[in-house]
């Protein structure tokens, strides 16, 4: 079945450091890929998405590129802030109208001032 | 600003009591999901509905959990009887419309069973 694997956390960085959170997936067909973010005490919210190969999703300085050849969707940010401290979930959804989404285990990010 | 709402936000109850959690999906969304999140298990899909009909509830303990959508504006998750191992944050999410495979999450219900 479809699955998502992301790097284990926690990831601890200093402010203004470069961030990469790795994500790889297994899926039949051509899913849409997502990164969701969960801030403390809140529900998940969509951070960015990409719906086909080579698409780049971007939002709030975060980027991820849909790489079909490596089945990856790594999240990157050039300069993290303390306010980016959260849990990040990589996810996929088959483009068959089902809306069901497979989530990774989540990666907790701590950013120190 | 359309949002998914959940009530109550916090619930503390004693083992054996019935717990009912409610969710109002975003107007126009026809798919509703229930998730449970714990430190040990992470985010688990319990059940989901399309056009108020259950599509998949395989993630839900059948003997004590039940999920329904009495109408398009209300989804409920019940636990009867509750047990300490049910302590978790329960999230509702909805999807539909133009952003057809993006899920919009509610703020969650934090349940503590003593």
CA angle A25, B55, B11 (to 5 degrees): 90
The residues, ordered by sequence, that sit 6+ positions from B97 with a Cβ below 8 Å of its Cβ are: B28, B29
- The predicted model gives A71-92 an average pLDDT of 97
Whether the Cβ atoms of residue A88 and residue A8 lie closer than 8 Å to each other: no
Mean pLDDT across chain A, nearest whole number?
A: 94
Q: Are strands A11-14 and A107-112 parallel, antiparallel or unpaired?
A: parallel
Q: What is the CA radius of gyration of chain A?
A: 13
Question: Chain A: nearest CA to B108, how far in angstroms?
Answer: 6
Q: Is pLDDT at B2 greater than 90 in this prediction?
A: no
Supply the pLDDT for residue A90.
Answer: 97
Q: Alpha-carbon distance B61 to A69, whole Å?
A: 39
Supply the pLDDT for residue A96.
Answer: 66
Supply the pLDDT for residue A30.
Answer: 86
Whether the Cβ atoms of residue A36 and residue B91 lie closer than 8 Å to each other: no
Q: Is pLDDT at B109 greater than 90 in this prediction?
A: yes
Q: What is the DSSP letter of A72?
A: B
| Cβ–Cβ below 8 Å for B102 and A34 | yes
Q: What is the CA radius of gyration of chain B?
A: 13
| Cβ–Cβ below 8 Å for A101 and B103 | yes
A93 in contact with chain B, both atoms CB, cutoff 8 A: yes
Mean pLDDT across chain B, nearest whole number?
A: 93
User: Which 3-state string (H, E, C) describes A19-69?
Assistant: EEECEEEECCCCCEEEEEEECCCCCCEEEEEECCCCCEEEECCEEEECECC
Can you say how many angstroms the Cα of residue B17 is from the centroid of all Cα atoms in its chain?
Answer: 18
Supply the pLDDT for residue A56.
Answer: 97
pLDDT tens, B85-104?
999 999 999 998 776 688 99
Chain B residues touching A98 at Cβ < 8 A: 101
Which of A37, A43, A59, A94 to mutate against chain B (most B CBs within 10 Å)? A43
In the structure, what pLDDT confidence band is assigned to residue A100 with cuts at 50, 70 and 90? Answer: confident
Q: Alpha-carbon distance A80 to B110, whole Å?
A: 29
Q: Is pLDDT at A59 greater than 90 in this prediction?
A: yes
Give the pair of three-digit tokens for residue A87: 């849990």
Number of H helices, E strands in chain B: 0, 11
* In the block, residue with structure tokens 């019940």: B78
Q: Is pLDDT at B22 greater than 60 in this prediction?
A: yes
Q: Is pLDDT at B45 greater than 90 in this prediction?
A: yes
């Amino acid at each position: 079945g479809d699955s998502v694997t992301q790097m284990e956390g926690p990831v601890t960085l200093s402010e203004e450091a470069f961030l990469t959170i790795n994500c790889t997936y297994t899926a039949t067909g051509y899913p849409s890929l997502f990164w969701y973010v969960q801030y403390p005490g809140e529900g998940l919210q969509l951070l960015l998405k990409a719906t086909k190969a080579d698409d780049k999703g971007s939002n709030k300085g975060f980027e991820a590129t849909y790489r079909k050849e490596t089945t990856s969707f790594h999240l990157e940010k050039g300069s993290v802030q303390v306010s980016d401290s959260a849990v990040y979930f990589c996810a996929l959804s088959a483009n068959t109208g089902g809306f069901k989404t497979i989530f990774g285990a989540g990666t907790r990010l701590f950013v120190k001032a | 600003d359309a949002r998914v709402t959940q009530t109550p936000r916090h619930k503390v109850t004693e083992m054996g009591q019935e717990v009912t959690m409610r969710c109002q999906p975003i107007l126009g969304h026809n798919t509703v999901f229930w998730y449970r999140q714990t430190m040990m298990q992470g985010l688990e899909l319990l059940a989901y509905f399309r056009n108020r009909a259950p599509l998949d509830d395989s993630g839900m303990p059948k003997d004590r959990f039940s999920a329904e959508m009495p109408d398009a504006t209300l989804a409920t998750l019940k636990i009867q009887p509750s047990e300490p191992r049910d302590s978790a944050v329960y999230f509702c999410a909805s999807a539909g419309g133009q952003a057809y495979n993006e899920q919009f999450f509610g703020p969650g219900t934090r349940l503590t069973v003593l």
